[in-house]
Amino acid sequence: MRYIEKGLPIQHLNRVAMAEGNAKKPIYRMHKWWARRLGSVFRMITLAAFAPFEESEMSIWHRFCEGANLQGKIVLDPFMGGGTTIVEALRLGCRVVGVDINPVAWFITKKEIEPVDLESLDAAFHRLEETAGQFIRRYYQTKCPSGHQAEVMYFFWVKVAECGECGARVRLFPNYELSRRDHVNVCFCPNCLQIIETKGYDPETTCPACGETFDPRRGVASRGFYVCPECGARRRILDEVRRKGTRLDEELHALEGYCEECGRFFKRVDDVDRALWKKAQEEFYRRRESLLIPNQPIPIEGRSDPRPVNHGYDYFWQMFNERQLLCLSTLLEAILELPDRNIRELMLVAFSDCVGTNTTFCKYEIRWHKISPFFGLHAYHPIERPTENNVWGTVYGRGTFTKCFEKVRRAKEYCQRPYERLFDIRGKRFSKHTTGERIEGQVVGRFDALRQNKGSALLRCESSEDLSFIPDQSVDAVITDPPYFDNVQYSELADFFHVWLRLGLKDVYPWFESEFSSRPDEIVKNDKLGKTTDFFNQGLRRVFKECHRVLKDDGVMVFTFHHNQTWAWESIAEIILDAGFYVSATPIVRSEGKSGYHSSKGNIRYDAVLVCRKQPSDCNAPAVIKQQILDDAITWTSKTLESGMAINRVDIFTIVMAKSIEHLTKTMANPNNGSAPVDLGVILQEMKEIVDETAEQCQAEFESQRKSRVSGVEQLALLLRESEARYGKGA
């Protein structure tokens, strides 16, 4: 038995996980990847997967905080994604095997763990600054309102539609605000585009230049429709795209700049700014055929998010304007001339990451004075007011190449001296506590080389349905985070980065030869591609069977899982059983912080950590299995609440489902328990009804004192009610 089968020290871990969810470690900010799990959680999972059952909570927490060495244990992650397991296991002294079918995921993980000399990295950046940097800066120059030479931080654009009723050209402004901060609002006139400052929000702002009176927060476009200011017709934006036959035109109207003497400022673009744009356009078209830009069409077949194509974007390069393409190509050319492969590839990571904030699919956050990255949501979301970033960057700003390089540098510094955020005894403040470890992996090509070298990593870009390069019973633990059916379409999202990375890597790595990152055998649910739930289940079953083969008999397979549908829990339980495992334990841990993608009201904020062992199980079925499930669910709900975390109905659903498949698979994997056959679907549905009843009971008024013993459902309801009282309803 391992410590993880007893639980996790969530009293301490949940708060650390919450902090990391709101500000991830530098290593995980090097490059965008979707649905990353938390490094602190996977660090503890890895420690607990090898710790003896008898170890105390304080002992394992001390090793988490002060550092540990797992003496070269071999850890496999068959779905390595953004590399969390690989990074954390290497840091703990393991040898690692990471597999992912997506080339972008493989490349990101590889660069996370490969060491680099920071002085050489800095020297390469300065070389780029003197070449590409100087070229790019020429196209982001302006004059501040006082007449000083200044740099542009952001250019503000707006899409323009031709009204299908009257033919008027309509600027599709959702509003007319540029800044809403510090009791000073900055807006612009919808008529003449003059920049206007007001003390706070004024719903009847009058333009001092043309006399137009308007509400800065009431534009003409909203939720896919616009109202023509000339004829009053209400039209669908997509209808105008279809009439035009391509993407809508865009008009430059304002900018935010930085002046060394005056600081940051907004201004309406002038003739000089327009002339600079014209110059960039001319340079782009003059050099168009020789530029390094992605010419692939955006895939249509089986697409789950058709919005870019529906909005008239047929090619990836059309998601950028001419100035962005010119500057990005120039920067990419300069990076590819760097002589050192490792440094060149790290610069490619910074370049690829900055592409996500240098596209016309980015908007400006008026409350925070910075651009919003393209993939803030897991989707291709066209917007009516695109913001053009300064590709190279100024003193301020976000998502420029300079800022992305700084993220890469901070990540490699962190690798040399990693730390954990630890809370003080009151649990209110945290400090960065270094552990004396390092994140550093020597990438090898074969499994036998992995065994020969400490701190080595075998990374493969292929499907984990065939792990024949790994011998039988040679892996100490499998630790992973598998895809969750149709929750995230990884390759569809990763194509945006793949088409750019491919320009620099297609002649180096064979998996970048393909124009797109998608593969026919990618395990994901996508009905439009014919990848049904059954396709997903069969693929995951094959991966788990391979994990069963390569795992030592006394090893554990551990993975995190959550889903808000009963059928998904039934499917994952059946897959586990069919692959020859059963679930021996299901500790519950916080997965993301308040700013996480899955953490808004009604979404799941906790992961069930499914600890799987090889069959057969020696666990006999309890006399009343549903009562045992309920008792365990009450225990873990209480633990979660006691750790300082809020819970809601969806959280309780996760806990109840996890405990259900734990007890059910234990029973079903014991051929000698003598109990009647178990129907997974029936019992899971009954347990879901208990969750529903819990939520209903929580709505009712409970008696102030109970003279009789409350039922299990009432206990859960009381815990949910306590959470609502402490943190607010739906917290």
- How far apart are alpha carbons 114 and 118 in whole angstroms? 12
Per-residue model confidence as pLDDT tens digits over 370-384: 999 998 888 899 999
The residue-averaged pLDDT of 465-490 equals 92
Please give the full DSSP string across 335-374, using - where no structure is assigned: HHT-S-HHHHHHHHHHHHHHHTTSSTT-EEETTTTEEEPG
Strand 184-188 relative to strand 370-372, pairing: unpaired
**17 to each of 349, 421, 596, how far by Cα in Å?**
26, 9, 11
Higher-confidence position of 560 and 697: 560
Q: Give me the domains of the chain, ranges plus CATH numbers.
A: 3-115+440-615 (3.40.50.150), 119-174+219-403 (no CATH), 621-731 (no CATH)
> Which secondary-structure segment (H or E) carries 177?
strand 177-181
Residue 674 has a pLDDT of 67
Q: What is the mean pLDDT of the chain?
A: 92
Backbone angles phi, psi at 605, to 5 degrees: -120, 5
- Positive or negative, the Cα torsion across 689, 690, 693, 694? negative
Is residue 90 over pLDDT 90? Answer: yes
Per-residue model confidence as pLDDT tens digits over 591-634: 865 443 333 445 778 999 999 999 999 887 777 888 899 999 99
Residue 705 has a pLDDT of 35
Helix/strand/coil percent split, the chain, to 5: 40, 20, 40
- How far apart are alpha carbons 316 and 499 in whole angstroms? 8
Residues of the chain above pLDDT 90, percent: 78
Q: Residue 498 in contact with residue 461, Cβ under 8 Å?
A: no
Given pLDDT bands bounded at 50, 70 and 90, which one contains residue 728? confident
Residues with Cβ within 8 Å of residue 90, at least 6 apart in sequence: 96, 113, 439, 440, 441, 455, 457
Residue 704 has a pLDDT of 37
pTM: 0.94
Is residue 686 over pLDDT 60? Answer: yes
CA angle 412, 416, 419 (to 5 degrees): 100
